[in-house]
Structure formats: structure tokens, C-alpha cells
Amino acid sequence: MAKYSFSDIKKILNDLIDGGGEPELSVYMYGKEYMIIGFINKYSFQRCDSGSGDGSGEFYYSSLDELYNSVTVDNILLKRDWNNITDFDCIDFDWYFGSEVSTNSTSAEDYGEKP
């Protein structure tokens, strides 16, 4: 089960973008790494290099909600597959939470407010 809800991730990424960042969030599921990249006016979702040479399958979305509700690379539908995420990795989380993120948490709210 994912340690962050979609609403947690949506708030964090939007806050990071509003702060001038371009967050790159790795999500791991089904034995693969995928990445969500936040931009000012869009988000991308892609499979990270699997070594198979079949490309990243990068897709762009106008919002996280659109991404969440769309079938994307490898037939991933985040609305359906969210609870299959086994881990998240984003260096910007350290800044956002003001300290290193523990892997034992079940919610972003466990870390308190943004500094």
C-alpha cells in the first residue's frame, strides 16, 4: 500500500511547483520505476529506463487529476494502481518536510507543516 495518498502527493507537488521548483517524483510499482515530473502548467509521467531500449513512454497531462484518471505507459492507471505503489523517492521531499523523510510513515501529515 502506498505510504502517501494521492491528495498528499498532489498537495506536496503543487506546493513545490508554487515555490519555483520542478519536482521529480519516482514511484515504484510492479517491479518498475516511474517518474512524475511537475512543471508550472503540466505534468509528465514516464517509465524510467528499464534497459530494454523500448523508450520511456513519456506522456504529458495538464494536471495531476488528469494524470490520475488516465491510462498511461504500461497501462498504468494511477486511480486503479495507486495502492500498488511500493515506494516514493523525491529529493525535494527533504526540503519540503525540513528533514529526511522516514520510510515508516503512512501519511505526509505525519511530518507536520511545510517549513
CB 39 within 8 A of CB 21: no
59 domain-assigned: yes
Query: Looking at residue 30, what DSSP letter applies?
Result: T
Determine the structural domain holding residue 84 and report its residue range. Answer: 6-99
105 domain-assigned: no
Residue indicated by cell numbers 501519511: 107
Instruction: State pLDDT tens for residues 46-93.
Output: 999 766 656 678 899 999 999 999 999 999 999 999 999 999 999 888
115 domain-assigned: no
107 domain-assigned: no
14 domain-assigned: yes
Instruction: Determine if the pTM surpasses 0.75.
Output: yes
Q: What is the pLDDT of residue 97?
A: 75
Percent of the chain exceeding pLDDT 90 equals: 63
114 domain-assigned: no
Domain count, the chain: 1
For the chain, the average pLDDT equals 82
1 domain-assigned: no
